[in-house]
Amino acid sequence: MKYLTEKDKKRRSLFYKNEKKRIILKALLQNENLTRNTRWKIAIKLSTISRDSSPSRIRNRCVISGRPRSVQSFFKMSRIKLRESLSTGNMPGMTKSSW
């Protein structure tokens, strides 16, 4: 499980590193005023950027357990760890609901 968390951290760092370059190249690629040959070269440059730097490859994971599913975005914790921390009183002002 730890290697998946490390892989996600690597993807996040690649995304932040190439974010501006990707945005600029995409904007130039959509420009209809450029010649077809120029846009073709821009498309090739865009395809040479690492696929792991794409924002769609980033996965939200629990900061405690690394669980990829059911992660509450505000707390950045999975539902299981969130409930455990609420039950033990580690989060002030919040209580576990039960009915």
Q: Could you read off the pLDDT of 31-74 as tens digits, one per residue?
A: 889 899 999 999 999 999 888 888 888 888 888 888 899 998 88
Tell me the pLDDT tens digit for each residue of 74-97: 888 999 998 888 888 888 887 777
Closest C-alpha among 82, 76, 84 to residue 60 = 76
Question: Which range marks the domain in which residue 71 is found?
Answer: 60-90
Q: 34 and 71 in one domain? A: no
Total tally of structural domains belonging to the chain: 2
- Model pLDDT, residue 1: 67
**94 backbone dihedrals φ, ψ, rounded to 5°:** -125, 145
Q: What is the mean predicted confidence (pLDDT) over 8-18?
A: 90
The answer on 76 and 38 residing in a single domain is no
Q: What is the model's pTM?
A: 0.70
